[in-house]
Amino acid sequence: MLKLTSILCAIFLGLAAFKLPIGYYTFLRLTITIGALLIVIAESKKKISIYSVVFGIVALLFNPILPVYLYKKSIWIPIDIATACLFLFHSIKLKSPKNV
């Protein structure tokens, strides 16, 4: 379930690089915040790890309640791509046999 969540979040973040309606970015904020919080909860059950901290920051950055406005898409695109890579890396980490 967590692997699928990470992969879907990465896909949604990848799509954010394209010109889409404003409603998509509201959906993206909500989805990424929920995905990041799910990872924080799952990781903190094991122990406090770097993933807990990093995805906590992602949840704060993308949260829809007190949104961070950077106003230029050219600033958000690298953030979206880096965060997509982070979600993908996390899904790969979950896939490795030593972590199952």
Query: Count of domains in the chain?
Result: 1
| H runs (alpha helix) in the chain | 2-15, 22-46, 50-62, 73-95
Domain, as residue range, for 45:
2-99
> In the predicted model, what is the mean pLDDT of residues 70-84?
87
% of the chain beyond a pLDDT of 90: 46
88 or 51, greater pLDDT: 88
> In the predicted model, what is the mean pLDDT of residues 33-61?
89
> In the predicted model, what is the mean pLDDT of residues 11-32?
91
- What is the maximum span of the chain, computed from C-alpha positions, in angstroms? 42
- Per-residue pLDDT band for 72 (boundaries 50, 70, 90) equals confident
pTM comes to 0.84
pLDDT of residue 84: 95
Distance CA 43, CA 18 (A): 31
pLDDT of residue 100: 44
- Whether the per-residue pLDDT at 34 is higher than 50: the answer is yes
